[in-house]
Homo-oligomer: A and B are copies of this chain.
């Protein structure tokens, strides 16, 4: 990195003023402290020299770096790119940059990532992988670092978050299956340490109860991770019970894809033999075999609102934390179908 860029001293030298005057002119909040004629002259010279403030330097002094750490569990999970893009664009509009960290599945690594970001004096953090009980989130709050969670919440309610109405989403999917005539419904959920996994599971049980449908607990499995392979394994486990079922409601789209894979292995067809629903409406699920019926959440809105909440928190640290709950909707595609006569008579003994 060559020293080829103009700095404040260069501008000051050419304008024949002190660097502090240049600084005051370049900051709109202090510009009125300088005479208008001189301010104009300084602004012109700064532009001629292509001067750009160095946020490293100013951040050292002001403790504001215009930097936000964005920690996600897996950028290749199609749910996250739209979120990240929306976050990055919203931050950029306000002069902030996003430092991206993909934590993978290792929590220890995430601790290091966050420490790294703290050392760099990030102005705040957007976290997409918090656990319901999350020491990392706790410690950031304790240190006064603004934090916003995306699509997750923690049990400590003083943390800002943008989430979806998971209860409504699961209920929409459940009612859809009921309306199609399904009664023997399996559930494949996600890890219970995540609020989405926990809330969607409880919502499933409640929807069933409210619909007066008796759920066979052997048909309810919470997978270790929200992945295709975990979904596949969970369905295989359900298949081994030999129980009757005609539909599977899953806690996210990747789990549903895993169910598709398992059905392929068993020479079964969705939705002919088993109807399947997902959650998230991640990109491209409309192109799958079959196109996935799923609960749509607005990924972009998640990102935009997360960035907005965080910027507010940065500007006004003492303001109370907010939870924004977005409303999902059901998108019916080809993975769910009316319970047919053959299914109703013998069920689908998947063994």
Q: Which residues of A are in contact with B by a Cβ distance under 8 Å?
A: 1-5, 52-57, 59-60, 63-65, 70, 74-76, 78, 80-82, 84-85, 88-89, 92, 97-102, 104, 113, 115-123, 143-145, 257, 260, 283-284, 287-289
A1 touches B145 (CB 8 A): yes
A56 touches B65 (CB 8 A): yes
> In the assembled complex, how far is the CB of residue A6 from the closest CB belonging to chain B, in whole angstroms?
11
A92 touches B85 (CB 8 A): no
Given A81-B76, A82-B76, A116-B97 in contact, is the A60-B63 Cβ separation under 8 Å?
no
Pairs A-B, 9 closest by C-beta atoms: A52-B119, A100-B100, A2-B144, A76-B81, A75-B81, A56-B56, A287-B288, A75-B85, A85-B102
Instruction: Using A56-B60, A57-B60 as known contacts, list a sample of 7 further A-B pairs with CB atoms less than 8 Å apart, ordered by residue number in A.
Output: A1-B63, A5-B119, A54-B119, A54-B121, A56-B121, A76-B283, A84-B102
Given A4-B144, A81-B76, A88-B100 in contact, is the A119-B283 Cβ separation under 8 Å?
no
Given A3-B63, A56-B59, A60-B60 in contact, is the A101-B88 Cβ separation under 8 Å?
yes
A1 touches B123 (CB 8 A): yes
Query: Cβ of A74: which chain B residues have Cβ within 8 Å of it?
Result: 85
Interchain CB contact (< 8 A) of A102 among B88, B116, B287:
B88
> In the assembled complex, how far is the CB of residue A189 from the closest CB belonging to chain B, in whole angstroms?
22
Query: Cβ of A3: which chain B residues have Cβ within 8 Å of it?
Result: 63
Q: Which of A56, A80, A113 has the most CB of B within 10 A?
A: A56
The complex is assembled from copies of this chain, and their number is 2
> In the assembled complex, how far is the CB of residue A79 from the closest CB belonging to chain B, in whole angstroms?
11
B287 touches A56 (CB 8 A): no
A52 touches B5 (CB 8 A): no
Query: Cβ of A82: which chain B residues have Cβ within 8 Å of it?
Result: 76
How far is A78 from B79 in the complex, measured between Cα atoms in Å? 11
How far is A97 from B257 in the complex, measured between Cα atoms in Å? 33
How far is A164 from B120 in the complex, measured between Cα atoms in Å? 36
Q: Which of A65, A80, A117, A289 has the most CB of B within 10 A?
A: A289
> In the assembled complex, how far is the CB of residue A124 from the closest CB belonging to chain B, in whole angstroms?
9
How far is A74 from B54 in the complex, measured between Cα atoms in Å? 27
A89 touches B102 (CB 8 A): yes
Query: Cβ of A123: which chain B residues have Cβ within 8 Å of it?
Result: 1
A119 touches B1 (CB 8 A): no
A118 touches B5 (CB 8 A): yes
Q: Could you list 5 A-B pairs, sorted by A, with CB under 8 Å?
A: A2-B143, A55-B120, A70-B100, A97-B120, A99-B100
Query: Cβ of A60: which chain B residues have Cβ within 8 Å of it?
Result: 54, 56-57, 60
How far is A89 from B104 in the complex, measured between Cα atoms in Å? 9
B1 touches A144 (CB 8 A): yes
How far is A4 from B4 in the complex, measured between Cα atoms in Å? 35
> In the assembled complex, how far is the CB of residue A174 from the closest CB belonging to chain B, in whole angstroms?
25
B76 touches A92 (CB 8 A): no
> In the assembled complex, how far is the CB of residue A71 from the closest CB belonging to chain B, in whole angstroms?
11
Interchain CB contact (< 8 A) of A54 among B78, B100, B102, B120:
B120
Query: Cβ of A1: which chain B residues have Cβ within 8 Å of it?
Result: 63-64, 121-123, 144-145
A118 touches B57 (CB 8 A): no
> In the assembled complex, how far is the CB of residue A42 from the closest CB belonging to chain B, in whole angstroms?
18
How far is A284 from B118 in the complex, measured between Cα atoms in Å? 36
